Amino acid sequence: MSETYRALTRKYRPQSFEDIVSQEHVSSTLMNAIRQNRLSHAYMFCGPRGVGKTTMARVLARVINQIDSTVDGESLNQTLNVLEMDAASNNKVEDVHHLRESVRIPPSNGRYKVYIVDEVHMLSKAAFNALLKTLEEPPEHAIFIFATTEPHKVLPTILSRVQRFDFKRIAVDEIVHRLRKIAIDEEIAIDEESLHVIAKKADGALRDALGLMDQAIAFCGDTITHKELLQALNVVGTDRLFQFMNCVKEHDADAGLELINTLLQEGYDIQEFLIGLAEHLRNLYISHHSPQLYLVEASEETKKKYSATASDFSRDDLMRMLHIVSEAQIKLKDASQPRIQFEITLLKLIHMERTESLNKLLSELGELKKNFSNQPILIKEASEAPEKKAEEPVSEKQEENNEQELVEPEPVPEIVPEPEPVNDEYDMGQPALVTEITQKARVLHFPNGNGNSTPAPVSEVSINADDSPVKKLIIEDVRAVWDDYLNSLNNQVPKMLELQVQRAKPARLKGHELILECDNSFAQKMLEEQAHDLSLRMKEQIGVMLRFKAEVVNNTEKQSTARNPYERFKEIQEKDPMVRELVERFGAELEY
Amino acid sequence: MNIKFGNRRLIGQKRAKEQIERMLESDRIGHAYLISGPSGSGKTAFALALAEAINGIDHLSELGEYTKSKKSSWFPHPDIHVFIPKPTSAGIDEIRQRLELLSQDPYEIISFAQRPSIDDDGSSKNLQVFYPVDYFRDEIRPAARFRPNEGDRVVIIMTQVETMRKETANAFLKLLEEPSDRLMFILTTESYESLLPTITSRCQHIPLGTLSPKDVEHGLIDVDGLSADDASYLARVSGGNYAMTRFFDVSRLKQDRESIVQYLRLAFSQDAAELSKLCQDWQSSNNIEGLIALTNLMEMYIRDLFVFKETSNEKLVVNIDQLESVKKFVSALNDARLEDMINEIDSIRVMLRQNVSAKLIFTVLALRFSNLMRGTDPFIPEHENWKHLPAFAE
């Protein structure tokens, strides 16, 4: 076994700024700083794995201490002026104390003493704090370079004391370029398409790309062909994916399952297949629109195949499939039997209703609606305005029975004598007597379950009845004292309640009933529960006992839900200059 | 180096074997490999065989002229170190015992979680295993300092690295990226996705696939001396898990399956008395791993229902002995929402792991199933779901 062999990732670790792939924004800044002698005493390099953080730190250390290239990057640590340590194994306060001690000692030769601290996010909080003082005012000769993949875990007090550089993921083209150069150096023959496969799979990390290249060389030898590469890297080829999509088109679950069965037994990874499938679907989606075909990274022949297959599915369908697949990708990560989840997902794809049949279904539904015109509306009301229902228990009962019949056409006598209270459902020890039908009945009961929580303030009614009217009040009177009233609430009632009252508006006066408008059912509930207390305080202001009643005004709410999030976002922008500023200056986007 | 990798003992995995063979042949051996694959597919066995091949031990693979070491296997070799995740309480002696078992057969189950006690297979103790930081600092890192004694390289094998805590994993990164010249790591994991990207990015990846029933069958017949009938049945229900299948007792397995069918029946008929008896029974005779295995069996059965409903292809059904019940189920319950049932099973595993009482979980599951099997929604009050499943919050 050769002793000289060294993984490509280590062999080709750059030794100068020029060698570092991508990240020009960092290297040029650093080079300028060196040229103008304006080095900061602390840097923080952040970014995903394998983009060159540690490498950049080493190059910087090398350049400012003028260490020549005969010294290997990995043995920099053995030179006296560079100290590389990982914070994960030295994360305690004592380690930081030790570091502080050693910082005081000036470099033996050379100008700077460079401390490279990798994985700095793993330092304990105490260790971070112990470091703060040193970091802010270190001796002239000390330079700290921190590298981390998770900058959000670093204390803000640290972040504010360092110059931070964010490394970006490396673009496919740049990786390809670098790989090509290495292939020439290593005397390996590899075609362009294979380089692309490697670069794409590396997902923006050069280290991954080199690792994959290593793997490919070990597998294929000096000549890497596309076909062998796919095998070496365990990438599912497009022809298999086309085959699968054909099964989806034909709704042929049998063949689809057989296909993935063989795939799995050949040793392909489930995640790998899903990643491939997601990209495949994306390509099909794009192929729908031929001018965009250049966005598909594939050979001409494959592109033709894409356009041909694309017409089998509508864009909406492809979009939905894409959703299903990407959801499955997340779910599979912590499934205990990934294979089953995988199969279910594929069956879902195969049996997914296509848009055409859905449209048919929708029109049928419309027909149905006409026949049972008022039923669906009733259900809606039941959930939206439960308090209304509570007042009319008789009609509710009837409606419920109607619904029952809608679900189950044959007459069901058992339902009527079902007086059980709704609440003690699903008692664990319930005997086996519960039948399917009663279950259903309970499920239907459920929407009104909420209705119980709106107690009509009966007791107050009686109190107020005695309170004879002294003078005729109108709503304007209430509005006039409303501000004072709000002030009087201050510190007298729970803050939560006060806020809710502030947000509510006195709407109208109905005899001695003051009707408040509020915008959600939570506020409504809260106000009604505290109605008595609130009206007592109102009496202090206006001299008359008023009953409080809250109403949810949801026309504004309806409006806003009807619009899609983007439109709402736009509206918020128009309303709020601060948000608009954020959007204009920083390109803030909606995340939901 | 032209050898047949793992030809003495390793089962199936043609692709991975070829990958390793070519790698050995090319002489470009990296410093870190990550072997991933579903449980029981032979990850540890592959790691061991690779370590042996690199150090020229003629044991799991027939090396012929490349044999360099006189040692009989990896176990006595001074340059091969194997580490397994351990519960905090376990000492070095216990690990040693387990490794000794592993040296007798590379497919032996030695994990503390799956097999809490090596003497008593009925033990249902729950052990949590992982790589504590001090285990790493005191045992693993020192091993990495040695120069190879008599072999080519020091090989450090770490199994189930997904159990590695974040702190340990981060402390491991530096060593993993740039180990000394003649040191290499072989890591194995069941879930590649859950590892830190900084770990996976430093390793070359060798994925293992699910074993095909045929491979498992061959293994069972050739190595474990099972009768052809039992082997073919076990292979079919194994789900590609060879290591576990070897320990299955055919009758016990069939019994488990029957109890699951029974459970589903009871769930349908809502026979509370029988149900609670069955659930109690399950709870008292299994530890968490055992309960998870039960849910897996259940999931597998429902998957069969699903697949059979969609394809009516008997070949795709795993639980072939339950084919009758599968057929009956599918024909009787047309609007059963099987997918939702699988989702329900998926959601209860988390709870099992969090030590929610198994009896309660399975009772509740049965109640939900009874609705789902009839194609209706299970009744779970949204704002009061804690009443429905006690002691669980997401």
How far lies A366's CA from each of A369, A399, A408, A409, B277, in Å? 5, 21, 20, 19, 49
CA distance B2 to A310: 46
Q: What is the pLDDT of residues B144-169, one digit of tens each?
A: 888 898 888 899 999 999 999 888 99
DSSP A54-94: HHHHHHHHHHHTT--TTS-GGGGGGSTTEEEEETTTS-SHH
* Closest to B83 measured CA to CA, from B17, B164, B13: B164
Interface test mutation site (partner A, options B270, B314, B317, max chain A beta carbons within 10 A): B270
The length of chain A in residues reads 592
pLDDT of residue A40 exceeding 50: yes
Task: Domain A238-356: give its CATH architecture.
Answer: Up-down Bundle (1.20)
Residue A576 has φ and ψ, to the nearest 5°, of -110, 110
- Find the range with the poorest average confidence among A434-448, A463-477, B139-153: A434-448
pLDDT of residue A43 exceeding 90: yes
Q: SS3 helix, strand, coil % of chain A, rounded to 5?
A: 60, 10, 30
**Encoding tokens for residue B19?**
């990958």
Query: At the fourth CATH level, which superfamily is domain B14-209?
Result: P-loop containing nucleotide triphosphate hydrolases (3.40.50.300)
Q: B389 vs chain A: nearest CA distance in angstroms?
A: 10
Average pLDDT over residues A90-116: 88
CA distance A555 to A520: 11
CA distance A457 to A387: 12
pLDDT of residue B330: 83
> Which residues on A lie below 8 Å from B208 (Cβ)?
267
CA distance B31 to B53: 15
Environment class of residue A182 by beta-carbon count within 10 Å: exposed (0-12), middle (13-18) or buried (19+)? middle
Q: What is the pLDDT of residues A313-345, one digit of tens each?
A: 888 888 888 998 988 888 887 777 788 888 888
For A488-513, the three-class secondary structure string (H helix, E strand, C coil) is: HHCCCCCHHHHHHHHHCEEEEEECCE
Tokens 């439109």 locate to: A567
CA distance B197 to B207: 16
Average pLDDT over residues A114-135: 92
pLDDT of residue A63 exceeding 70: yes
pLDDT of residue A390 exceeding 70: no
**What number of other Cβ atoms are within 10 A of residue A581's Cβ?**
12
* Closest to A250 measured CA to CA, from A238, A259, A263: A259
Instruction: Give, for A117, the enclosing helix (H) or strand (E).
Output: strand A113-118
Give residue limits of the domains in chain B. 14-209, 212-248, 249-388
**Encoding tokens for residue B65?**
């002229």
Report long-range pairs for A412-420 (Cβ below 8 Å, ≥24 apart). Answer: A412/A437, A414/A438, A415/A441
Angle, in degrees to the nearest 10, between helices A226-233 and A192-202: 20
Environment class of residue A167 by beta-carbon count within 10 Å: exposed (0-12), middle (13-18) or buried (19+)? buried
Q: HSE on the CB side for A101, CA within 13 Å?
A: 6
Question: B371 falls in which pLDDT band (50, 70, 90)?
Answer: confident
- Find the range with the poorest average confidence among B15-29, B48-62, B317-331, B377-391: B377-391
pLDDT of residue A563: 59
CATH value of B249-388 in 1.20.272, 1.20.120, 1.10.10, 3.30.70? 1.20.272
Averaged pLDDT score across all residues of chain B: 85
Environment class of residue A73 by beta-carbon count within 10 Å: exposed (0-12), middle (13-18) or buried (19+)? buried
Question: B351 falls in which pLDDT band (50, 70, 90)?
Answer: confident
Interface test mutation site (partner A, options B310, B337, B368, B371, max chain A beta carbons within 10 A): B310
pLDDT of residue A143 exceeding 90: yes
pLDDT of residue B249: 75
Give residue limits of the domains in chain A. 8-166, 172-233, 238-356, 380-449, 461-553
Do A8-166 and A238-356 agree at the fold level? no
Question: A555 falls in which pLDDT band (50, 70, 90)?
Answer: low
Question: A111 falls in which pLDDT band (50, 70, 90)?
Answer: confident
> Which residues on B lie below 8 Å from A428 (Cβ)?
360, 363-364
Q: B167 vs chain A: nearest CA distance in angstroms?
A: 6
Residues 6 or more apart whose CB falls under 8 angstroms from that of A133 comprise none
Instruction: Give, for A539, the enclosing helix (H) or strand (E).
Output: helix A531-542
Average pLDDT over residues A465-483: 66
**What number of other Cβ atoms are within 10 A of residue A493's Cβ?**
16
Q: Which range scores top for mean pLDDT: A227-231, A421-425, A574-578, B181-185?
A: B181-185
Question: B45 falls in which pLDDT band (50, 70, 90)?
Answer: very high
Question: A161 falls in which pLDDT band (50, 70, 90)?
Answer: very high
Percent residues over pLDDT 90 in chain B: 17
The closest CB to that of A5, out of B28, B38, B203, belongs to B28
B24 neighbors B3 (Cβ within 8 angstroms): yes
Angle, in degrees to the nearest 10, between helices A495-503 and A521-529: 120
According to DSSP, the residues that pair with B154 across neighbouring strands are: B183
Average pLDDT over residues A93-115: 87
Q: Which B residues in the span 20-59 are in contact with A, Cβ-Cβ below 8 Å?
A: 22-23, 26-31, 36, 38, 54
Tokens 């009989």 locate to: B72
Considering only residues A58 and A460, tell me which one the structure prediction assigns the higher pLDDT.
A58
Question: A461-553 maps to which CATH number?
Answer: 3.30.300.180
Residue A582 has φ and ψ, to the nearest 5°, of -60, -45
DSSP classification of residue A313: S
In this structure, the strands spanning A505-510 and A513-518 are antiparallel
pLDDT of residue A300 exceeding 90: no
**Encoding tokens for residue B39?**
């449980």
pLDDT of residue A170: 92
DSSP classification of residue A77: G
Q: With an 8 Å Cβ cutoff, are A272 and B313 in contact?
A: no
Angle, in degrees to the nearest 10, between helices B288-311 and B323-332: 60
Q: What is the pLDDT of residues A183-232, one digit of tens each?
A: 999 899 998 888 888 888 888 899 999 999 998 998 888 888 888 888 88
> Which residues on A lie below 8 Å from B374 (Cβ)?
436
Q: With an 8 Å Cβ cutoff, are A211 and B203 in contact?
A: yes
Residue type, A93: V
Task: Domain A8-166: give its CATH architecture.
Answer: 3-Layer(aba) Sandwich (3.40)
Average pLDDT over residues A549-555: 70
pLDDT of residue B378: 66
**What number of other Cβ atoms are within 10 A of residue B278's Cβ?**
21
Q: Which B residues in the span 281-300 are in contact with A, Cβ-Cβ below 8 Å?
A: 292, 295-296, 299-300
Question: A156 falls in which pLDDT band (50, 70, 90)?
Answer: very high
Residues 6 or more apart whose CB falls under 8 angstroms from that of A358 comprise none
* Closest to A57 measured CA to CA, from A143, A174, A121: A143
In this structure, the strands spanning A82-86 and A113-118 are parallel
Question: B122 falls in which pLDDT band (50, 70, 90)?
Answer: low
**Encoding tokens for residue A450?**
């909420």
Question: A172-233 maps to which CATH number?
Answer: 1.10.8.60
CA distance A194 to A65: 40
Q: Which B residues in the span 364-383 are in contact with A, Cβ-Cβ below 8 Å?
A: 364, 367, 370-371, 374, 376-377, 379, 381
Considering only residues A363 and B80, tell me which one the structure prediction assigns the higher pLDDT.
B80
Question: Euclidean distance between the first and final Cα of chain B, in Å?
Answer: 54
In this structure, the strands spanning A189-190 and A223-224 are parallel
Q: What is the pLDDT of residues A20-31, one digit of tens each?
A: 988 999 999 999
Interface test mutation site (partner A, options B164, B177, B187, max chain A beta carbons within 10 A): B177
- H-helix segments, B238-357: 242-245, 250-269, 272-285, 288-311, 323-332, 338-353
Q: With an 8 Å Cβ cutoff, are A340 and B193 in contact?
A: no
Question: Chain A within 8 Å of B180 (Cβ-Cβ)?
Answer: no
Environment class of residue A201 by beta-carbon count within 10 Å: exposed (0-12), middle (13-18) or buried (19+)? middle
